[in-house]
Amino acid sequence: MEKNIHPILKSIVPLVNSVAETLGKNCEVVLHEINGNKKSIVAIKNGNITGRSIGSPMLDVGIKALTKDDNVDNILNYKNKSSDGRILKSSTTFIRDEKEKIIGCLCINIDISQFVLAKNALNELVQTDVNAEVSLEDFDSNSVNDVLVNIVSSTIESTGKPVAYMSKEEKVNVVKKLNEKGAFLIKGAIDYVAKILCVSRYTVYNYLDEIRINEKGGI
């Protein structure tokens, strides 16, 4: 915990450890101090979930919310993602002083990646119909970004596995399916897919080269 923080925030610090201990190792609890341009962590438990520690900056979700100044509402039960592809269930509660000025926020990030795997397995077990495959023809030409997002999302969901748990071979297979669906004909697709798969754009190009070589070899 950092020293010289606001008394109200200091009184909340014990809650960080209590909540994390109660919900277990897959739950990251973070207390941020917000003071002018300073938006940094003053207390954290299970920081391995997002790879952060005391002094680390606030994530984009919280920073964007603060553009509404002190009128911002709490952001509860939303889906988030860590830098290494873990799927998170998150909540952000803003903390105010006696003058209703925001001085900090308490954030809870639960890694639900393993539960998503279990959910997908159960869905496959009880599924009785076939989901329609996303294709370029299903969308208006004015919705190119939506096309790309939907194609990538449906392709990854069809694997039944979060990106953080994918092997290189599984990521190559995702790229292969996207290529077959024409996803890479869409402007910006390489960068977007690289971001979603948590690899570099050059890695995606290497995957495509590998796929083409295998196809020429009849593999």
The tens digit of pLDDT for each residue in 93-138 reads 999 999 989 999 999 999 999 998 888 888 878 776 555 444 444 4
- With vertex at residue 197, the alpha carbon angle to CA 204 and CA 117, rounded to the nearest 5 degrees, is 140
Q: What is the phi/psi pair of residue 155, to 5°?
A: -70, -45
Under DSSP, is residue 142 helix (H, G, I), strand (E, B) or coil?
Answer: helix
Under DSSP, is residue 78 helix (H, G, I), strand (E, B) or coil?
Answer: strand
The tens digit of pLDDT for each residue in 138-195 reads 444 444 588 899 999 999 988 888 998 999 999 999 999 999 999 999 988 999 999 9
* 105 bridge partner residues: 32, 94
Domains of the chain, each with CATH number or no CATH: 7-111 (3.30.450.20), 115-216 (no CATH)
